[in-house]
């Protein structure tokens, strides 16, 4: 579907959506602790629904812990439990080592795009420790065997989700384990978030540099009262939009003391000329006087689209670097960001590992593709605020992956739009 932005949002107050990254981890820890799902009946993003669906397929009856079992005898793959991950990379990468540690023989299914994203380092780590993993077709992966303990080696600069999946899965083996990174860890705040949730669930890892160590005898025991945080990565778009709006935006549900690394957006927008900081029960972003900036995205790739929206209309040139992993997200985000900015009348250049964005005072508007990427949809909607003519976003329903209420919130902030 297409959405046409007829009138840009004006500003106001809004509640930050729930952190998808935090909720994935809480859901899994809840299942492993044997407590009920913390999810309400409605309002799930597609990615969160995928994780809950896959936990159900692991024969999880909410309120009963997931338990290890001997490796299943290999049988007819058509009768195996099917874990449908949809397009959620987090779901696949966190649950594959957990299912392996539990000794479950299962099928993981996902979109062609998901299954084409890098998985080999995680698959290699699992197969080096007692499991078999093979692709049946372009959308289906077969896992069999039970994971054995010991030392796991894998790179830290491809996906932090590999490390998070092993951090969550290996405690189920009840034996000493180590995770040894062969390259420096990128997106480290997501690993910190995993360790934070694990600590709340009674699981403690020791870290010395690039080595994580686990002692045996630990059990998942997450308390019922863990509440996911507001999402800084998705709220980043409202904070960027506040810098363009007449009234400013007060975003409730965000804490500057958050465990999420994407709160970095607060510092970057302020340094780039934004009027941004603590507000009443949240963070306020008002009309900014933005200038170009340099941004090292190595630990914070998910806020790049929101920052790129600001850079597109800032004075001067912005350089975003150390962002090569953006090419392996829901779309090639370096290319997608450049395509949308240029398609709306801006000036952006792709680099191998980032972007050069030359700010212009106003954009023309027009029709752009979201490339099926939820964050590109939100970026384009923010850029529409600076367009002289309406902006039309193709495949705008992709936003449902992480933030199904995005366009309702856009209208609640004074915007007007039409679905085509």
Q: Which residues are catalytic?
A: 302
Q: What is the DSSP letter of 326?
A: G
Q: In the beta sheet, which residues pair with residue 123?
A: none
Which tokens go with 223? 């308390």
CA dist., res. 410 & res. 413, Å (int):
5
CA dist., res. 205 & res. 369, Å (int):
43
The residues, any chain, with a CB within 8 Å of residue 373's CB and separated by 6 or more, are 329, 330, 331, 333, 336, 398
Q: In the beta sheet, which residues pair with residue 356?
A: 319, 349
Which of 211, 209, 275 shows the shortest CA–CA distance to 247? 275
φ, ψ of residue 413 to 5 degrees: the values are -90, 15
Which of 277, 274, 278 shows the shortest CA–CA distance to 240? 274
Buried b (16+ CB within 10 A) or exposed e, 54-84: bbebbebeeeebbeeeebeeeeeeeebbebb
Report whether 392 contacts 364 (CB < 8 A). Answer: no
Which of 339, 349, 345, 338 shows the shortest CA–CA distance to 360? 345
């Amino acid at each position: 579907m297409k959405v046409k932005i007829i009138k840009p949002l004006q500003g106001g107050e809004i509640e930050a959506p729930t952190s998808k990254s935090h909720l994935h981890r809480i859901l899994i820890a809840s299942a492993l602790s044997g407590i009920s799902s913390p999810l309400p009946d409605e309002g799930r993003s597609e990615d969160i629904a995928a994780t809950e669906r896959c936990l159900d397929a692991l024969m999880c009856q909410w309120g009963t812990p997931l338990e290890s079992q001997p490796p299943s005898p290999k049988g007819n793959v058509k009768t195996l439990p099917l874990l449908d991950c949809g397009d959620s990379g987090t779901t696949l990468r966190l649950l594959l080592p957990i299912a392996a540690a539990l000794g479950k023989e299962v099928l993981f299914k996902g979109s062609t795009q998901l299954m084409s994203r890098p998985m080999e380092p995680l698959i290699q780590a699992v197969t080096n420790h007692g499991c078999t993993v093979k692709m049946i077709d372009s959308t289906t992966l077969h896992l069999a065997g039970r994971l054995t303990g010991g030392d796991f080696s894998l790179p830290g600069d491809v996906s932090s989700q590999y490390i998070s999946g092993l951090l969550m899965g290996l405690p189920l083996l009840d034996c000493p384990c180590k995770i040894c990174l062969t390259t420096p860890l990128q997106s480290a705040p997501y690993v910190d978030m995993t360790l934070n949730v694990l600590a709340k669930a009674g699981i403690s890892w020791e870290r010395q540099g690039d080595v994580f160590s686990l002692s045996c005898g630990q059990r998942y025991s997450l308390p019922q009262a863990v509440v996911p945080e507001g999402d800084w990565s998705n709220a980043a778009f409202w904070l960027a939009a506040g810098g363009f709006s007449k009234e400013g935006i007060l975003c409730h549900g965000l804490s500057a003391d958050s465990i999420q690394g994407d709160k970095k957006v607060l510092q970057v927008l302020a340094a780039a000329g934004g009027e941004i900081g603590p507000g009443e029960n949240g963070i306020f972003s008002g009309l900014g006087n933005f200038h170009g900036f340099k941004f090292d995205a190595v630990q914070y790739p998910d806020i790049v689209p929101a920052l790129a929206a600001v850079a597109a209309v800032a004075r001067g040139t912005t350089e975003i670097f150390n962002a090569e992993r953006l090419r392996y997200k829901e779309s090639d985000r370096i290319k997608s960001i450049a395509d949308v900015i240029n398609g709306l009348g801006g000036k952006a250049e792709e680099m191998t590992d980032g972007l050069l964005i030359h700010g212009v005072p106003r954009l023309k508007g027009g029709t752009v593709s979201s490339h099926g990427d939820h964050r590109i949809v939100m970026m384009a909607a923010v850029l529409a605020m600076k367009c002289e003519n309406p902006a039309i976003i193709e495949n705008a329903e992709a936003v449902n992956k992480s933030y199904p209420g995005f366009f309702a919130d856009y209208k609640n902030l004074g915007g007007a739009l039409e679905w085509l």
